[in-house]
Homo-oligomer: A and B are copies of this chain.
């Protein structure tokens, strides 16, 4: 009996690294480099080669000793593995400055998602298009989400409005929320939340920087 490789068993750090491999492989493809080794990938991305090998293994790809992995095939395999071959339609809620920036991000369809509509509570922003994507009033969301079979919502509203907007998404049957607001969201257990908390990164960066500057000063 086959043991299906459930996605649950794949370490999150591995998933987090896969897109970097994609980015690098895309470049190598452009340079027409036919094969690539874990050593080379590791050097470029500052990772242990063994780790790279283990990461790649989760996609099921098989390499050739002494040769490495076929660049093109490796790229395709990772893309396929992440479900990024055909982009799914998603909604964006909150057409402020950050939302607008994401609406203008044309590369998203290379990463598995296509923003097909935006929503905002402010009537002044509705009825227009931003970067070619229509903006509707938030009250239109539930109906459209069902009709368009939307599973994923991107949340770029101000922090005070986040929970309420999230509730609308959940009420509309959405299954996953990519949350850019710096707050914890309450959702039922069947809804997945991925927080994009810029300030977490900033905390790491400022800590390291402070330490580094202090060291320099002491020398």
Task: Check A190–B202 contact: CB distance below 8 A.
Answer: no
Is A213 part of the contact surface with B, judged by Cβ < 8 Å? yes
Give the residue name and chain of the B residue nearest to A16 (CB). B200
Task: Check B184–A205 contact: CB distance below 8 A.
Answer: no
Copies in the complex: 2
Place the interface of chain A in its size category: 35 or more
Q: Bound state CA distance, A202 and B190, in angstroms?
A: 18
Bitwise, A185-205 to B at CB < 8 A (1) or not (0) is 000001010101111111111
Task: Check A206–B83 contact: CB distance below 8 A.
Answer: yes
Task: Check B207–A10 contact: CB distance below 8 A.
Answer: yes
Bitwise, A8-23 to B at CB < 8 A (1) or not (0) is 1010100111111011
The 14 listed contacts between A and B (C-beta, < 8 Å) are A7-B210, A8-B211, A16-B197, A19-B202, A20-B197, A22-B199, A24-B184, A97-B101, A113-B202, A151-B209, A152-B205, A178-B205, A192-B208, A192-B209
